[in-house]
Structure 1
Amino acid sequence: MVDTDALHAWIREFARLVEQHQDLLTELDSAIGDADHGANLHRGMSAVVEVLRAETPSTPAELFKRTGMTLVSTVGGASGPLYGTAFLRMSATAGEAETLDAGDLAKILRAALEGVVTRGKAQAGDKTMYDALAPAVRALEEAVGTGQPLAEALDAAARAAERGREATTAMIARKGRASYLGERSAGHPDPGATSVTYLVVAAATALA
């Protein structure tokens, strides 16, 4: 079972990875976007860390809700609403539970993915965060469904996210600012797919 403290560690690890790779995210976004994804997400996750330190949520739902609301209010561009919606959907799915098992984690990440689809209208091959998050969710669900331990299931999800991120390099963007470049958007990994891979990797690190 995963409690709120463990989930808090997941959020902190995600914030750490965003800070560590802030320049890379900005570099990727400069090639096909507004060159602000790294700075925006780092600002948002830094704010999340401060909010959670001050408020110490007592349930998973409360933790995800505060994270989502903070990201919506502090992260500019498309990533704020997308990440905010993902965490708010996770909060709603967690409900009143005080701890989450592997099946619950698969459900909340599925809810996060559905939130991204609802907000961004993205689908496979659009060269967005969907292309990394969707395979990660499927891998987690399959691993949990076959009874794999949580650590192995999350590792499978992280590897699937990374493969999805790498696959965006050859894609031609069909959403967002990158879509304006047409075929010139090919040859660059998507920054959103890259940052959401860090989210899944952080889960594999902190929750295992």
Structure 2
Amino acid sequence: MADVSLDLLTEWLRRFQSLVADNRVYLTELDSAIGDADHGANMDRGMAAVVAKLQEAPPTAVDDLFKRAGMTLVSTVGGASGPLYGTFFLRLGTSLGAESSVTAEALGAGLRAGLEGVLQRGKAEAGDKTMYDALAPALDAFDGVAAGGGTAAQAAHAAFEAAVAGRDATEPLVARKGRASYLGERSAGHLDPGATSTALLFQALDETLAGSAAAE
């Protein structure tokens, strides 16, 4: 598979919405231990609204897809997750531009732009026990495969594996950002909800591109 089409990127968001819905209770349970107990509900509501927007009118280009998704999340999701995920998708769309398909390298650059938006919004660093701990290693893995000539599907699979490892690595950490940081040492021993939903984001990308590659 060479380029990633607008249809595949749209399917990525739909698949992410489905995974979030399936894991809504689990994400809320994680957040109830160290946060406001609303991450699952917020992400489910937000992604359902994104898919509804896409059903109203199909996106006309890649930037339209992600900007619409980002604005919907910002306007419908409370707490930290709406602004962070919304900013991620907005920056991703701006980076990719008004295209009908993107290369693996362009997608990696767009994801990186999304990460930079998350950093500017959330001011997180590695080890703070946030979504950054899954997002940053996922993008490093994606870029490594893409730079070596790998396909977008191969890069997405590497990114998913790295996101899962990053998610799991948050369990022993003491949170230094967000509501979880109020708990101090008691925040250790729990997976970070944002890192967990980030792993779902890359699971959705992996599954979407793997299915497309298998169909070729």
| Residue 123 (structure 2) pairs with residue 88 (structure 1) | no
Cα distance, 1:80 vs. partner?
A: 0.4
| Residue 48 (structure 2) pairs with residue 46 (structure 1) | yes
Q: Which runs of 5+ in 2 are unaligned?
A: 211-216
Using the alignment, how far apart are the partners of 1:150 and 1:6 within structure 2?
Answer: 11
Aligned residue among 167, 170, 179 for 2:169:
167
| Residue 17 (structure 2) pairs with residue 15 (structure 1) | yes
Using the alignment, how far apart are the partners of 1:96 and 1:206 within structure 2?
Answer: 21
Cα distance, 1:207 vs. partner?
A: 2.2
User: Which residue matches 2:214?
Assistant: none
Output one character per residue of 1:37-87: Cα deviation in whole Å (capped at 9) or x when no partner.
Answer: 000100000000000010211101000000000000111100000000000
Q: Percent identity?
A: 59
What is the letter of the counterpart of residue 98 of structure 1? S
What is the letter of the counterpart of residue 77 of structure 1? G
Mapped contact 2:4–2:152 kept (Cα < 8 A): no
| Residue 93 (structure 2) pairs with residue 129 (structure 1) | no
Using the alignment, how far apart are the partners of 1:72 and 1:202 within structure 2?
Answer: 21
TM-score by length of 2: 0.95
Cα distance, 1:112 vs. partner?
A: 1.0
Using the alignment, how far apart are the partners of 1:150 and 1:90 within structure 2?
Answer: 16
| Residue 197 (structure 2) pairs with residue 195 (structure 1) | yes
What is the letter of the counterpart of residue 21 of structure 2? E
Output one character per residue of 1:82-109: Cα deviation in whole Å (capped at 9) or x when no partner.
Answer: 0000000001101122210110110111
Cα distance, 1:189 vs. partner?
A: 0.3
Output one character per residue of 1:132-182: Cα deviation in whole Å (capped at 9) or x when no partner.
Answer: 000000000001111122222111100000000000001100000000000
Cα distance, 1:113 vs. partner?
A: 0.7
What is the letter of the counterpart of residue 63 of structure 1? L
TM-score by length of 1: 0.98
Using the alignment, how far apart are the partners of 1:11 and 1:114 within structure 2?
Answer: 20
